[in-house]
């Protein structure tokens, strides 16, 4: 069995909690800017001392309202400063944070709140188009609802005036590394999200080793990052904790549409993103070049080729004088402008959640941005492997992060082990036993290989869970089952692994079709023609819309294609149990799937 392991750089904590980071910063670096808040284009820093004051005040308010140690408190909001303040306040009070994606469907929100037994929730704002409060009120044990935009944090602070510092510190002091810090719900193959229980120790030990391992990112003078990923995602959450631990200034961009503008004004030194962001930056720059003129478009294309070749030459140590000259030329014409569009100070980026790919990895390194690609899951407190400066193989997801072991099972499955492995699934010991071995190895469900230097390459997915290029986990069976329940649909295969959005291949139910045609006044025709009939497409779209109600927007089917044939046992696309042969279908219909994303 192949195995790769990296020793820890920092010992795992024996005592304390995540709130210790805030106390340490305020006592030793009171004037260090730990977060920054943008108002009308101006970024205002919040010092470590002020941040601690805000967090402690909100934590006192939670205690005054009766939030007890171990109680679950949800945060249902976009990425913003209040998210971080509420998160740490919950930890100060000894409670457990349950993050919920702002894009989650009503069904998902209700399930998470009920499963986690959430007793209080921080919402971003009251929305007339989405019944957030109605959902909260439908949860029997919900006691408190706080609205960020209604100044709830200040109200909580006022409410907590009667709670002494001694009482707060006593509550905080009872939290240990073994205490649960957060329950993060992630999509499972069965459809219902499963709650991953992560401890204070999981996060503390992980960030200590991460910070020590890549000082180029965390110890850089005036280091900063602009957080635009959802803090409900374990990737963003881990980096939030690392930022606080290392006192790296963190700005917030809740609106993706404002990202380019805020990158230019905030000027981060490193970025945290999923591959989809890097794809959009590349495609957007190329489109902008061609929109200006065909000549500028051709210059961009040539610059991209040179950037990739230049990066590849760094691996071999053989960069020709001609390549150096061309690289210098395009740095003035193209690369410097791209760097300036990202603020002008960015030198590193951490990419995770899905595969970046060698082409983009080399392109960005060639223009002067080293993208450190890694791999991990919610169950492993995000990253388990990572490319780091001085140890990079573009196309791989790196070596094990410090204090982590990676093993390849006999069937090719990637197994992970270390102090960052989760405590288990909330209220689901059976599911926990299915993924954990007796000696502590976690079954990822992914297939991969290790090279002779210990670098991990992910080659496929053992389980059916899809991961879009934006890093969103999607359980295809939820959508497939709902679509198949519609009379017009015979079979459905949801696709989108490594792609920018979710799509579907569907087939028409030939037994139900005659009645459907008659009912809707559609002339009979071969399936190959009906697959393009406007009325049929509209009926299938309605079925898709209905199925999408069960999932968040990022998990929803955006496009579909009706196949000119059915999927059956006889033609090899179904098993005797009538389960779809996903791998065979993805292979045989590869061109059809590609056409969905190319049109």
Q: Please, what are the domains in the chain?
A: 17-175+221-268 (3.40.50.12780), 276-466 (3.40.50.12780), 475-598 (3.30.300.30)
Mean pLDDT over residues 201-206, rounded? 96
The more confident residue out of 187 and 585 is 585
Return d(Cα 530, Cα 522) in angstroms, integer: 9
CA distances from 401 to 165, 389, 390, 398 (A): 38, 13, 14, 8
Helix ranges (H only) for 293-425 are 294-316, 321-330, 336-341, 358-366
The rounded percent of the chain whose pLDDT value lies above 90 is 70
Q: Give residue 198's pLDDT.
A: 99
Q: What is the pLDDT of residue 172?
A: 97
Q: Which of 100-104, 244-248, 280-284, 294-298 has the lowest mean pLDDT?
A: 280-284
Distance CA 109, CA 4 (A): 39
Which of 117-126, 237-246, 503-512 is most confident?
Answer: 237-246
Residue-level pLDDT at 96? 99
Backbone angles phi, psi at 440, to 5 degrees: 95, 10
**What is the arithmetic mean of pLDDT over 309-326?**
95
What is the structure's pLDDT at 127? 55
- pLDDT tier for residue 116 given thresholds of 50, 70 and 90: very high
- Answer positive or negative: Cα dihedral of 577, 583, 586, 590: negative
Residue 125 has pLDDT above 90, yes or no: no
Please work out, in degrees rounded to the nearest 5, the angle formed at the alpha carbon of residue 237 by the alpha carbons of 232 and 243.
145
Q: 187 falls in which pLDDT band (50, 70, 90)? A: low
Q: Which tens digits make up the pLDDT trace of 419-448?
A: 999 999 999 999 999 999 999 999 998 888
**For 187-191, 416-420, 456-460, 468-472, which range has the lowest pLDDT when averaged over its residues?**
187-191
Of 93-97, 446-450, 585-589, 592-596, highest mean pLDDT: 93-97
Residue 578's pLDDT is what?
Answer: 67
DSSP letters for 43-61: EEEEEHHHHHHHHHHHHHH
**C-alpha closest to that of 523 among 512, 538, 511, 536:** 536
Tally: H helices and E strands in the chain: 23, 26
Per-residue confidence band for 460, with pLDDT thresholds at 50, 70 and 90: low
Q: Residue range 99-124: average pLDDT?
A: 90
Residue 190 pLDDT greater than 50, yes or no: no
Q: How far apart are CA 326 and CA 319, in angstroms?
A: 11
Structure confidence by residue, pLDDT tens digits, 134-153: 777 788 899 999 998 878 89
pLDDT band with cut points at 50, 70 and 90 for residue 128: very low
Distance CA 442, CA 24 (A): 33
> How many Cβ atoms from other residues are within 10 Å of residue 296's Cβ?
15
Tokens read off for 37: 């808040």
Q: Report in angstroms the alpha-carbon separations of 315 from 4, 154, 187, 391.
A: 22, 53, 38, 11
Q: Which residues pair with 413 in a beta bridge?
A: 447
Handedness of CA 368, 382, 477, 138 (dihedral sign): negative
pLDDT score at 151:
84
- Mean pLDDT calculated for residue range 12-38: 97
Structure tokens at 513: 């079709």
Mean of the pLDDT values across residues 499-527? 91
Asked whether the predicted pLDDT for residue 300 surpasses 70, the reply is yes
Q: Given this model, what pLDDT does residue 472 score?
A: 85
* pLDDT over threshold 50, residue 189: no
pLDDT at 473 over 90: no
Q: Is the pLDDT of residue 229 over 50?
A: yes
**Rounded Cα–Cα distance for residues 110 and 135 (Å):** 6
At 132, the pLDDT band (50, 70, 90 cuts) reads low
- Across the chain, mean pLDDT equals 91
Residue 339 class from Cβ within 10 Å (0-12 exposed, 13-18 middle, 19+ buried)?
middle
Q: Do residues 291 and 301 touch, judged by C-beta distance below 8 A? A: no
Token duo for residue 281: 């930056």
Q: Bridge partners of 507?
A: 491
Q: Which of 116-130, 515-529, 539-553 has the lowest mean pLDDT?
A: 116-130
Q: Which two tokens stand for residue 110?
A: 């209700």
Query: Angle between the 48-64 and 81-92 helix axes, to the nearest 10 degrees?
Result: 60
Q: Per mean pLDDT, which range of 19-23, 190-194, 328-332, 484-488 is the poorest?
A: 190-194
**Residue 465 confidence (pLDDT) above 80:** no
Write the secondary structure of 521-547 as one string of H (helix), E (strand) and C (coil). Answer: CCCCCCHHHHCCCHHHHHHHHHHHHHH
């Amino acid at each position: 069995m192949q195995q790769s392991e990296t020793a820890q750089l920092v010992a795992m904590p024996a005592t304390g909690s995540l709130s210790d980071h805030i106390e340490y910063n305020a006592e030793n670096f009171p004037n260090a800017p730990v977060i920054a808040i943008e108002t009308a284009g101006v970024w205002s820093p919040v010092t470590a001392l002020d941040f601690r004051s805000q967090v402690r005040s909100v934590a006192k308010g939670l205690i005054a309202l009766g939030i007890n140690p171990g109680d679950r408190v949800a945060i249902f909001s976009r990425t913003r400063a209040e998210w971080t303040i509420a998160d740490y306040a919950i930890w100060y009070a000894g409670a457990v944070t349950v993050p919920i994606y702002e894009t989650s469907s009503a069904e998902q929100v209700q399930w998470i709140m009920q499963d986690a037994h959430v007793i209080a929730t921080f919402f971003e704002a009251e929305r007339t188009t989405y019944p957030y409060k109605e959902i909260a009120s439908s949860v029997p044990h919900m006691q408190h609802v706080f609205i960020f935009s209604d100044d709830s944090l200040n109200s909580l602070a006022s409410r907590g005036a009667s709670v002494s510092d001694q009482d707060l510190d006593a509550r905080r002091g009872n939290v240990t590394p073994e205490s649960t810090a957060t329950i993060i719900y992630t999509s499972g193959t069965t459809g219902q999200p499963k709650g991953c229980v992560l401890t204070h120790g999981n996060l503390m030990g992980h960030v200590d080793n991460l910070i020590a391992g890549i000082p180029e990112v965390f110890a850089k003078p005036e280091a900063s990052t602009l957080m635009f990923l959802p803090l409900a995602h374990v990737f963003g959450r881990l980096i939030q904790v690392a930022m606080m631990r290392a006192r790296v200034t963190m700005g917030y961009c809740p609106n993706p549409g404002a990202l380019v503008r805020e990158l230019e004004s905030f000027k981060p030194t490193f970025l945290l993103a999923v591959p989809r962001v890097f794809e959009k930056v590349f495609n957007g720059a190329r489109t902008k070049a061609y929109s200006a003129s065909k000549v500028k478009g051709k210059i961009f294309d040539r610059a991209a080729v040179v950037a990739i070749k230049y990066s590849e030459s760094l691996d071999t140590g053989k960069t020709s004088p001609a390549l150096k000259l061309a690289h210098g030329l395009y740095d003035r014409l193209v690369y410097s402008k791209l760097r300036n569009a990202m603020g002008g100070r960015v030198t590193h980026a951490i990419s995770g959640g899905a595969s970046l790919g060698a082409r983009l990895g080399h392109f960005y390194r060639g223009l002067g941005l080293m993208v450190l690609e890694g791999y991990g899951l919610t169950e492993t407190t995000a990253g388990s492997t990572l490319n780091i400066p001085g140890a990079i193989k573009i196309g791989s997801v790196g070596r094990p992060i410090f204090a982590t072991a990676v093993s390849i099972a006999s069937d090719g499955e990637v197994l992970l082990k270390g102090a960052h492995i989760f405590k288990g699934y909330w209220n689901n010991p059976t599911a926990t036993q299915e993924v954990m071995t007796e000696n502590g190895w976690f079954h990822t469900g992914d297939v991969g290989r290790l090279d002779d230097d210990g670098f991990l390459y992910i080659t496929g997915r053992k389980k059916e869970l899809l991961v879009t290029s934006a890093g969103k986990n999607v359980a295809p069976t939820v959508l497939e089952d709902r679509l198949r329940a519609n009379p017009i649909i015979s079979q459905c295969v949801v696709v989108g692994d490594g792609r920018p959005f979710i799509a579907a291949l569907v087939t028409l139910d030939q037994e139900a079709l005659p009645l459907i045609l008659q009912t809707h006044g559609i002339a009979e025709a071969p399936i190959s023609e009906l697959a393009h009939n406007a009325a049929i497409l509209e009926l299938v779209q309605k079925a898709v819309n209905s199925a999408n109600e069960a999932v968040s927007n990022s998990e929803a089917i955006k496009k579909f294609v009706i196949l000119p044939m059915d999927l059956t046992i006889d033609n090899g696309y179904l098993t005797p149990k009538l389960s779809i042969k996903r791998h065979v279908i993805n292979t045989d219909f590869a061109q059809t799937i590609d056409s969905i994303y190319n049109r």
